Amino acid sequence: MKSFLTRTILLVSFVSLFTDIASEMLYPVMPVYLRSIGFSVILIGILEGLAEATAGFSKGYFGKFSDVLTKRVPFVRWGYTLSALSKPMMAAFTFPWWIFLARTMDRLGKGVRTAARDAMLSDESTPENKGKVFGFHRALDTVGAALGPFSALIYLHYYPAHYRTMFIIAVIPGIIAIMLTLLLHEKPAVKRSTGSPGFFSHLSYWKTSNSYYKFLVAGLLAFTLFNSSDAFLLLAIKNKGFSDEAMIGFYIFYNLLYALFAFPIGILADRIGLHKILIAGLSVFSIVYFFMGFALAFWQFAFLFGFYALYAASSEGISKALISNVVEKKDTATAIGFFSGFASIFALLASSLAGLLWYSLGPQWMFIISASGVALTTIYMSLVLKGRSIVKQTS
């Protein structure tokens, strides 16, 4: 039987792996580094909000642009290049405006590449093996997300507080990722246009999309509104008196399990249905968040983070695989970009809401309210998606 792993799938997956090594190496120390160069907590919040908004608004536009040009490779290549170049920029100067520029450039790179990359994975697969393809990609991507903070942990053990040097070191895996994108080739396609679409032109896709896509995306966005940043999970650990090393260790543990689960869950999703795995994943999220508010001991956090990895492996890649299976092939990047863009904005709102609940009611109630919201969303997804026939992707 012919392998589902094509040259393009392997290249894109390894590009994601090396990029995530670079990004996740810096993720745990980013707030500490910003504080060390004079950023206040408020300024850090504004910086991250602006960066995520940039990624959110650009994902839909560049997804639409990719479909209009029927090209994927330039968006993937330039997207990863922008993110790689932003790393040394963060260390070169510490002027606030320069840091804002570098961080925004990093997130813009994510916006440029995300929809085109996922559409490229979809183009290389069939409706019957989407789970495997997206699961394999998420597995390698998440291996990078584990190796990154692990590298940071080792480095900081020998060179405590040498944060700026880490941004220089992060250039190495970033350059490897860029070099791998040079090996990608564009698949022949019928050219639709040579012009650039309007910046908000992708918003009109909602009107022309099919009902399955609308119901699915509505549910996914509702879920995103209750899915705050993983930083709150790490903060819950810190809040119980665990050390920074333990906090990063839990994050590495989560990513390793996520990487381990992603591919086999993708295989299972192809066999029993992508939507069934997605609903199961959301159910696991709700349970984990509910009990996270009551966790105290080390083993309890370990147990919950293990199940949280199971949720992530059952949702992130699976949701994009499902979206790509229910839209026309010519609109794949637009459909994924539309969802990813709004998901980024909703994630920003979710984290803001979670922070407000944490501050006003306490962490326990924040987790309980989030769990309850996701439980209701899961019921909606179960009722709406059950029995609806999936529209197989057409060209």
Longest dimension (CA), the chain: 59
What is the per-residue pLDDT for 310? 93
Domain assignments of the chain as residue spans, ordered by start: 8-186+208-385
What is the per-residue pLDDT for 2? 57
What is the per-residue pLDDT for 192? 56
**pTM attached to this predicted model:** 0.80
CATH number listed for the domain at residues 8-186+208-385: 1.20.1250.20
Q: In angstroms, how far is the first alpha carbon of the chain from the final one?
A: 25
Of 30, 286, 21, 48, the closest CA to residue 172 belongs to 21
C-beta neighbour count of 365 within 10 angstroms: 13
What is the per-residue pLDDT for 146? 86
What is the per-residue pLDDT for 395? 39
Of 65, 68, 141, 113, the closest CA to residue 316 belongs to 141
What is the per-residue pLDDT for 41? 57
C-beta neighbour count of 89 within 10 angstroms: 16
Mean pLDDT by 10 residues, the chain (395 residues): 78 93 80 75 68 78 84 92 87 80 87 89 84 90 87 84 84 92 79 57 76 88 87 78 78 88 90 90 94 86 91 89 84 84 83 83 89 94 68 43
Of 229, 367, 240, the closest CA to residue 296 belongs to 240
